[in-house]
């Protein structure tokens, strides 16, 4: 697993819950024994088994369901001012929420352009009718669909679109998100300019 993903999880825990919680998660996940440190380096590569172990330990420490934590991670990823580059990468996908949804097919390739060896899970968008879409996520580690659901909730607000989202597991390693657009122009969207700070 690319260190950027694990580092992002660590930053989410630190920003959302504090150093004490991260210390408990790192201890329960035996990070020091496995890696020699409790901190992830963004540009290193880690064993794929470490990521779900960290997420499982976070769930135990926080006494919260893994899907809820991963959805919060996704929302944090695009709403935290320190992660503006992620939001901009996503908003580059289209002028409205529907164009953004269709652009998710190409998100793994765009992520690779930004970080050469970063491999995101495979994504496949299908339009069921004028108002409903599905996003299927499949990768090495389960749970990315819940992260994307958090991302999409924030981005829908960004575009001023009211949408209902539901995520279900799709074994062996994936999730399917159903997106139902309720109102395309529910609110004024957040201004965005590719050439400026957004």
Mean per-residue pLDDT, 141-151: 92
Q: How far apart are CA 67 and CA 3, in angstroms?
A: 21
- CA 42/CA 28 separation, integer angstroms: 21
What is the dihedral sign for C-alpha 178, 184, 188, 193? positive
Under the banding of pLDDT at 50, 70 and 90, the label for residue 103 is: very high
- Classify 1 as helix, strand or coil: coil
What is the reported pLDDT for 120? 86
Quick one: pLDDT at residue 149? 95
Q: What pLDDT is recorded for position 134?
A: 96
Mean pLDDT, rounded, for 79-103: 84
For the chain, percent of residues with pLDDT exceeding 70: 94
Q: Given the DSSP bridges, would you call strands 174-183 and 162-169 parallel, antiparallel or unpaired? A: antiparallel
Tokens of 131: 């108002």
Cα torsion angle, 172, 153, 112, 3, sign: negative
161 touches 137 (CB < 8 A): no
Give 192 or 172, the one with higher predicted confidence: 172
């Amino acid at each position: 697993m690319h260190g950027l993903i694990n580092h992002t999880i660590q930053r989410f825990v630190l920003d959302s819950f504090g150093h004490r919680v991260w210390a408990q998660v790192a201890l329960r996940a035996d990070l020091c024994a496995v890696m020699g440190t409790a901190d992830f380096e963004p540009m290193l590569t880690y064993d794929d088994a470490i990521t779900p172990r960290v997420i499982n330990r976070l769930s135990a420490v926080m006494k919260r369901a893994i899907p809820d934590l991963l959805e919060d991670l996704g929302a944090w990823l695009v709403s935290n001012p320190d992660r503006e580059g992620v939001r901009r990468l996503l908003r580059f996908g289209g002028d409205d929420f529907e164009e953004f949804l269709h652009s998710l097919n190409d998100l793994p390739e765009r992520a690779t352009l930004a970080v050469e060896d970063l491999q995101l899970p495979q994504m496949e968008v299908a339009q069921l009718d004028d108002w409903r879409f599905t996003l299927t996520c499949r990768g090495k580690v389960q749970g990315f669909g819940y992260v994307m659901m958090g991302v999409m909730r924030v981005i829908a607000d960004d575009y001023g679109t009211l949408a209902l989202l539901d995520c279900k597991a799709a074994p062996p390693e994936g999730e399917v998100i159903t997106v139902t657009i309720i109102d395309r122009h529910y609110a004024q969207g957040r201004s965005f300019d590719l050439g400026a700070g957004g």
